[in-house]
A and B are shown apart, each in its own frame.
Chain A
Amino acid sequence: MTKSFDKIAGIVFLLISILFISESLKISGSAYGSTIGPKTYPLILGIVLGLLSLRLLYETFKSKSESKEKSTLEIKKFAIIFISAILYIFLLEIIGYVLSTFIFLVVTFQVMERGKIISTIIISAIFAIGVYAMYVQLLGGALPKFSLF
């Protein structure tokens, strides 16, 4: 796992560094007096990262392949939570903080462990309304209001 990840990471970071170098060359040069313009520093960083990625790739290919350690990942659980998180962000400014937080918490609590639906609903409601009340009413902050219009 680590080794194949290292290969991919080495290549990805090498690509990032190449992109970074080419993009920083496009930044216009020094605007005044100094010979050191806004592009010098990113350019150096790009080159250093490129060299380090090459070094990582070299290390990875040189080292012997390690024994694979198979661990079972809860991909399904994670995927549901991750997608609900994206939906949560998307809905946050549409249906407001309280409702979106409530829905997100109910869904994720149930994904983590099925059952106890009543305590799930109570805890989610207390948390969502509690945070909103504390932050908006008490501290005068701003959060997206509930509105369907």
Chain B
Amino acid sequence: MSTIQYLFDGFAVALQWHNLLFAFIGVVIGTAVGVLPGIGPMSGVALLIPVTATLTSGMPTDAAAASSIILLAGVYYGAMYGGSTTSILLNTPGESSSVVTALDGYQMAQKGRAGAALSIAAIGSFVAGIIALLGLVLLAKPLSNLALEFGPAEYFSLMLLGLCAVSGLAGKSMTKALMMTVFGLMLGTIGIDAVSGIARFTYDIPVLYGGLEFLTIAVGLFALGEVFKTILERDSGDAPIAKINRILPTKQDLKDSAKPITRGSLLGFFIGVLPGAGATLASFFSYMTEKKISKNPDSFGKGNIAGVAGPESANNAASGGAMIPLLTLGIPGSGTTAILMGALIMYNVQPGPLLFDDHPEIAWGLIASMFIGNLVLLILNMPLVRVFAKIIQTPKKYLLPIIITISFFGVYAVQYTTFDLYLLLACGVLGYLLSKNDYPVAPIVLALVLGPMIENNMRRALTISNGDWSIFVTSPLSLVFLIIAAAWIIVPLILKFTGKKVIVNEEE
């Protein structure tokens, strides 16, 4: 069957009424998550996993997995969009990839053009989403065919590459990022060893035999960590929200932003495909590019519409691009995709090259639903911008305790033990302490998901080679991956040494 055929089958899955509903719920919740300060896309997706698990509990496994991943992915790109709303209206980005949007977006809002900025962000996000999806459709099959050739040694090196890329770009100190990665890998070894069946680091505590649940760790580190931070560090008070007068952009606005949107989308997509370099980096690059190309760079930071259109397209395209390594190689490139992958694994669906052969309805259903979801976002956000702007005003006193309760409910509903709730609280405190002191927490979650797979592939490779470690460098592909992995770590170090400024990817 050709790609087109698969895509049509995908639409058949995505257009089932319940999946349409799921995509709709996903993007609405996602937009709300993006708008609300305190919950980013990562905690939003993590919190909704238990809810989707229950919603889909009556369905056959494959259909359930397809439906829930459709909803969760909707949250992911919905949040990417929603983050721009707070940047523009309040000058407080809802998530880190919208930081640059605030530079020009807030200025536009000050000049009474908030509506134009918001709608350009929506249009840019839509175009970017579609471009990223076209890329995904075109690249999915060839890439997964290539990945089918991989043996355990190649996989091991590729995953190592993924981890190095994330650690090399995360946070201010690479030592700290690497420590967090290794710490996450260590947490992943707790439980019964999948190869030999020997219990490791369990100390005869029954709940530890299954290993630490990644959902608990992720929700704790991100959602609770963020809540604790907001409780402890009182904000300086709420800024007034800019008024939205006219929603539709003028023809001149559209003309001015057409090119930035195209450039931002393409740039964002390619940055998104690279592991480690996520939406934040993409939006920064796009902003710098626009400023460089522009005829009057001085107007940036004073309300230039290109400064909104470019970065907003870039961060959405990047979130689409990030789905490629996840779906085709089974390797998440960022914290949020790691959580999506964890969700798929919970349904016993292993993302990777075989996904397109074993579960085409999940892979292509997801891709098709992203087309629909982006359309829904566009239709929804133009008229509903005012409603979402209202969500920002939800008082913190109600919001924070409710987030705590929802995380408790979510974790308890899946795990059904109070042990996980205590672990959740501990992770919340740990998450707050770590991220406050520049220890990035995204690598922990990524490593926790990848850890068992890395170990299995390493041991399988070494079993094939009779314990000869040189198998990782004698296989050409594996060697290439290892060299790139080393470069991710070494190049930033060299740049730092020569005094160049390195852009780091903050948490998404």
Q: Which positions in A face B, CB cutoff 8 Å?
A: 1-2, 5-6, 9, 13, 16, 20, 23-24, 27-28, 30-42, 45-46, 48-49, 52-53, 55-56, 59, 71-75, 77-78, 81-82, 85-86, 88-90, 92-93, 101, 104-105, 108-109, 112-113, 123, 127, 131, 135, 139-143
* Contact (Cβ within 8 A) A112 B397: yes
**Residues of B within 8 Å of A, CB-based: how many?**
56
18 extra interface residue pairs, beta carbon distance < 8 Å, beyond A55-B175, A74-B233: A16-B183, A20-B201, A31-B196, A38-B198, A38-B200, A41-B189, A48-B182, A56-B176, A59-B173, A71-B233, A74-B234, A78-B228, A85-B425, A89-B418, A89-B421, A104-B405, A108-B401, A112-B397
CB distance from A144 to the nearest CB of B (A): 9
B413 CB within 8 Å of chain A: yes
What's the least CB distance linking A99 to chain B, in Å?
13
Select from chain A the residue with minimum beta-carbon distance to B198: A38
Q: What residues on B are CB-neighbors of A105 within 8 Å? A: 401-402, 405
A71 and B412 alpha carbons, distance in the complex (Å): 35
Residue among A6, A39, A52, A127 making CB contact with B178, cutoff 8 Å? A52
Q: How far is the CA of A86 from the CA of B455 in the complex (A)?
A: 35
In the assembled complex, B297 has its CB within 8 A of some CB on chain A:
no
Chain B residues with Cβ under 8 A from A27's Cβ?
A: 198, 200
Asked whether A46 lies within 8 Å of B186 as measured between CB atoms, the reply is: yes
Shortest CB–CB separation between residue B243 and chain A, in angstroms?
A: 27
Task: Please indicate the chain A residues that have their CB under 8 angstroms from the CB of B200 in the complex.
Answer: 24, 27, 38-39, 42
Name the residue on B nearest A27 (C-beta): B200
B198 touches A28 (CB 8 A): yes
With an 8 A cutoff between CB atoms, is B400 at the interface? yes
Do B231 and A74 have beta carbons less than 8 Å apart?
yes
Pair B401/A109 contact, Cβ less than 8 Å: yes
Number of A-B contacts (CB under 8 A): 153
B58, B173, B398, B455: residue with the most chain A Cβ atoms closer than 10 Å: B398
- Please, how many angstroms separate the alpha-carbon atoms of A135 and B193 in the complex? 34
Indicate if B467 sits at the interface (CB-CB under 8 A): yes
Check B458 for interface membership: any CB of A closer than 8 A.
yes
| Least distance between B54 CB and chain A CB atoms (Å) | 5
Give the chain B neighbours of A37 by CB distance below 8 A.
Answer: 196
Closest-CB distance, B215 to chain A (whole angstroms)? 16
Q: B234 near A85 (CB under 8 angstroms)?
A: no
B487 within 8 A of A: no
* A123 to chain B: closest residue by CB: B398
| A33-B463 CB under 8 A given contacts A2-B437, A56-B179, A75-B232 | yes
For B390-405 the 0/1 string (1 means CB < 8 A from A) is 0000011110111011
Whether B437 lies near A5 (C-beta < 8 A) is: yes
Do residues B405 and A127 form an inter-chain contact, with CB atoms below 8 A?
A: yes
Judge if B438 is at the interface, Cβ distance under 8 Å: yes
User: B77 within 8 Å of A by Cβ?
Assistant: no
16 residue pairs from A and B, CB less than 8 Å apart: A2-B437, A36-B459, A36-B463, A39-B200, A42-B186, A49-B186, A73-B232, A75-B232, A78-B228, A82-B425, A85-B404, A85-B425, A92-B408, A141-B54, A141-B413, A143-B409
